[in-house]
Amino acid sequence: MLRKSPAIIIILISIFIGSAHANQQDFNASAFFTSALSINNIVDMDFGVIEYSGSGNLRAYLSPIDGSLSCNNSNYQCPASGTPGSFQINGDSGAVVDISCERRAVLSDSTNTLNLVQTAIYNQKTGLFYMCRNLGRSTSFTLRGNPPDSDAPSNNASHTFLMGGMLRVQGGIQAAGVYSTANAGGDPISIRVVYQ
């Protein structure tokens, strides 16, 4: 019977231990902080006073670009202009932003309703004109910084948007009065903005 020498056993153990080695990998972590997007300076859309002397369908279009108001039925007397809705988006300059908006709203006098359809927005800084297609169906734009003479920090950007749309009357006005999305039975337009 062969007797193994303690020296041979130590050498074999050393070879076995020496052949096993561990791997180590470092992983980095990072975080990017950006100022939150905000929507402010909100002005509601206003078609003004529309007089009616008869019935029939009406399509009154308020342009988001220049506020001009046009009506397609002589039974309705529309003012030459109205007030486009407006809002301001603020965020980091250079960031790409997705914006979407609802294309319909309901105006109510708390009893009767009218529909606002084909809402559209206009970005005064970029000239972007966008027909609203509902929340989640967005278009993109890049936030451009404020001019050097602005009081705002240079890394901030603000864009003003104007909003218009078509007020539709089917068959005639059921009752005179103030129709608004803010009245009971009304449904306002929602806007959504998110960083890409």
Backbone angles phi, psi at 154, to 5 degrees: -70, -25
Nearest to 43 by CA among 8, 59, 67: 67
Q: Which domains does the chain have, with CATH numbers?
A: 37-195 (2.60.40)
Q: What is the pLDDT of residue 7?
A: 60
Residue 47 confidence (pLDDT): 97
The reported pLDDT for the residue numbered 32 is 78
Give the strand pairing for 113-123 and 156-169: antiparallel
User: Residue for token digits 């903005």?
Assistant: 193
**The predicted structure's pLDDT at residue 8:** 61
CA angle (177, 134, 165) in 5-degree steps: 40
CA distance 58 to 173: 9
> In this predicted model, what pLDDT tens digit does every residue of 4-61 receive, in sequence order?
566 665 655 555 555 567 888 999 999 877 788 999 999 999 999 999 998 899 999 9
Least confident of 5-19, 110-124, 139-153: 5-19
Report the mean per-residue pLDDT for the chain. 88
pLDDT in the model for residue 151:
52
* pLDDT at 149 exceeding the cut of 60: no
What is the band of 80 on the pLDDT scale with cuts at 50, 70, 90? very high
pLDDT at 54: 87
What φ, ψ does residue 139 adopt, rounded to 5°? Answer: -125, 160
- Split at pLDDT 50, 70, 90, the class of 146 is low
Those residues with Cβ within 8 angstroms of residue 69's Cβ, 6 or more apart along the chain or in another chain: 47, 48, 60, 61, 62, 63, 78, 79, 80, 81, 82
Q: What is the Cα–Cα distance from 21 to 111, expressed in whole angstroms?
A: 80
Q: Rounding to the nearest 10 degrees, give the CA dihedral for residues 10, 13, 15, 16.
A: 180
